Amino acid sequence: MGRGRGDIMKNSKIYPWIVVALLWVVALLNYLDRQMLSTMQESMKMDIKELAVGENFGRLMGIFLLIYGLMSPVAGILADRLNRKWMIVGSLFVWSAVTYGMGYATTFDQVYWLRALMGVSEALYLATALSMIADYHTSKTRSLAVGIHMSGLYAGQALGGFGATIAANYTWHTVFHWFGIIGIVYAIFLVFVLFDIERKPLVTNIVKEEEAGTENKSSVWQSLTLIFGTFSFWILLFYFMAPSFPGWATKNWLPTLFADNLGVEMAIAGPMATISIAIASFIGVLIGGPLSDRWVQRNIRGRIYTSTIGLFLTVPSLILLGFGHSYFAMIGATLLFGIGYGMFDTNNMPILCQIIPQRQRATTYGIMNMVGVFAGYAVTLMLGSSKDTGNLGLDFSKLSIIVLIAIVLMLAFLKPKRELCGK
């Protein structure tokens, strides 16, 4: 009987948007749990002395990114072959349990290895969720649906900024405990309301219909052969990686940059930075999603044009973030960056749907995410050293150069002919 109700629900016209709403909350928790650490550095270093050193804090953020990146292709491969509902539920449950456990950490090593475990569990989520959303939506709503989901990440990033504020009034232990419990409860809730969608058999120019029943090892190899043999994939891979440098830099170091450039406490700088960029990113989604969905109906490169316009907006904002020393400059630059990044972020999976078939999509996104996260790992460590030497702002602004290169390559070489996946 329960299965029957589930079938009725997931086949209803409104359920694709219910999926977006359900996963929006998961996305919020995903970034909330990872963002809290960056804003609670000041509170935590009172108990864990090693966190007072910028390089050590960079290592702590970096191990998460390293493990997260290594696991992303694995997560994508699994998402193309397993039930995505259970991957999402399991991922949320584990990282929430890790968040809860962070509240009991008393040493740097304990925090370090818990962040590593969080990297494993959170890696299973994003490619899986985006793949499911893209399957539930058509080309007329895909960018908007993906964008709304991504806005959950921004909301989590914003709320994570309040970690320092809550910790100042209670303890950092309490913050981790409560948000861990919330995630565990929501994972249990999803068991009853989230359903996967049936996917088409694996059929491509490489994998013929009669080969659909071959063993998973062969299918994985064939999928990877298809992906890496597609020239457009390499262009999109670099295009995805380049903004990851400033993207992860803002996630992990923007509150610190606000505190340093404006001379304010982290309890003020954290919420100011994260809320500004979250609001702006959501505006970018609201602009970039509908614009892309309409533009692509007239021109197949519409999603690419929308994405590159957004990414171009981040170039001047990075320079201003690096050298701004007024509230107007810092908040203005953050708003500009957020709008641009939101327009870029909402179109990544939809653009991928134009060059890679449906059954390789999550695997491909996992590979892209790995490269993007490794870029984040590198920039997090680099900016940790920059913080210690007093060059955080200067090195932050230099990230605009690689973004410009990515825009030029994308416009020059990526020319999709049709959308290959989804309904």
CA separation for the pair 102, 110 (Å, rounded): 8
What is the number of other CB atoms lying within 10 angstroms of the CB of residue 185? 11
CA separation for the pair 234, 273 (Å, rounded): 33
CATH code for the domain in which residue 119 is found: 1.20.1250.20
> Looking at residue 294, what is its pLDDT?
92
- Domain housing 403: 2-200+219-413
In a domain, 423, yes or no: no
> Looking at residue 226, what is its pLDDT?
87
Pull the structure tokens for residue 293. Answer: 């969905």
In a domain, 43, yes or no: yes
Share of the chain above pLDDT 90, in %: 39
CA separation for the pair 281, 39 (Å, rounded): 19
What is the number of domains present in the chain?
1
Hey, CA dihedral for 220, 226, 231, 232, is it positive or negative? negative
What is the number of other CB atoms lying within 10 angstroms of the CB of residue 396? 25
> Looking at residue 23, what is its pLDDT?
97
> Are 125 and 71 within 8 A, CB to CB?
no
> Are 409 and 232 within 8 A, CB to CB?
no
Is the per-residue pLDDT at 257 higher than 50?
yes
CA separation for the pair 116, 123 (Å, rounded): 11
| CA 175 vs CA 104, 159, 167, 254: distances in Å | 11, 12, 6, 21
Highest mean pLDDT among 57-61, 284-288, 393-397: 284-288
> Are 118 and 95 within 8 A, CB to CB?
yes
In a domain, 399, yes or no: yes
> Looking at residue 202, what is its pLDDT?
45
Tell the burial category of 109 from Cβ atoms under 10 Å away from its Cβ (0-12, 13-18, 19+): exposed
CA separation for the pair 239, 410 (Å, rounded): 7
In a domain, 211, yes or no: no
Is the per-residue pLDDT at 190 higher than 80?
yes
Tell the burial category of 169 from Cβ atoms under 10 Å away from its Cβ (0-12, 13-18, 19+): exposed
What string of DSSP letters covers 68-121? HHHHHHHHHHHHTTS-HHHHHHHHHHHHHHHHHHHTT--SHHHHHHHHHHHHHH
Banded model confidence at residue 9, pLDDT cuts 50, 70, 90: low
> Are 414 and 236 within 8 A, CB to CB?
yes
| CA 343 vs CA 148, 293, 295, 383: distances in Å | 11, 12, 13, 25
Helix, strand counts (H, E) of the chain: 20, 0
Hey, CA dihedral for 254, 184, 72, 224, is it positive or negative? negative
Pull the structure tokens for residue 238. Answer: 């670099």
Is the per-residue pLDDT at 316 higher than 80?
yes
Banded model confidence at residue 270, pLDDT cuts 50, 70, 90: confident
- pLDDT tens per residue, range 368-386: 989 998 888 788 778 877 8
In a domain, 54, yes or no: yes
- What is the pLDDT averaged over residues 196-201? 72
Pull the structure tokens for residue 143. Answer: 């960018």
Selection from 125, 118, 114, 103 nearest residue 179 by Cα = 103
Selection from 198, 230, 187, 246 nearest residue 363 by Cα = 230
**Residue spans of alpha helices (H) in 124-201:** 126-136, 142-160, 163-169, 172-193
End-to-end CA distance of the chain: 27
In a domain, 418, yes or no: no
> Looking at residue 161, what is its pLDDT?
66
Banded model confidence at residue 277, pLDDT cuts 50, 70, 90: confident
Share of the chain above pLDDT 70, in %: 91
Selection from 398, 122, 166, 377 nearest residue 266 by Cα = 166
CA separation for the pair 217, 206 (Å, rounded): 15
CA separation for the pair 208, 59 (Å, rounded): 46
* Vertex 132 angle, CA 126 and 134, to 5°: 100
> Looking at residue 237, what is its pLDDT?
94
Banded model confidence at residue 71, pLDDT cuts 50, 70, 90: very high
Hey, CA dihedral for 354, 147, 278, 99, is it positive or negative? negative
Is the per-residue pLDDT at 292 higher than 90?
yes
Is the per-residue pLDDT at 203 higher than 60?
no
In a domain, 362, yes or no: yes
In a domain, 421, yes or no: no
Is the per-residue pLDDT at 407 higher than 90?
yes
> Looking at residue 421, what is its pLDDT?
54
- What is the pLDDT averaged over residues 214-221? 58
Selection from 97, 90, 142 nearest residue 118 by Cα = 97
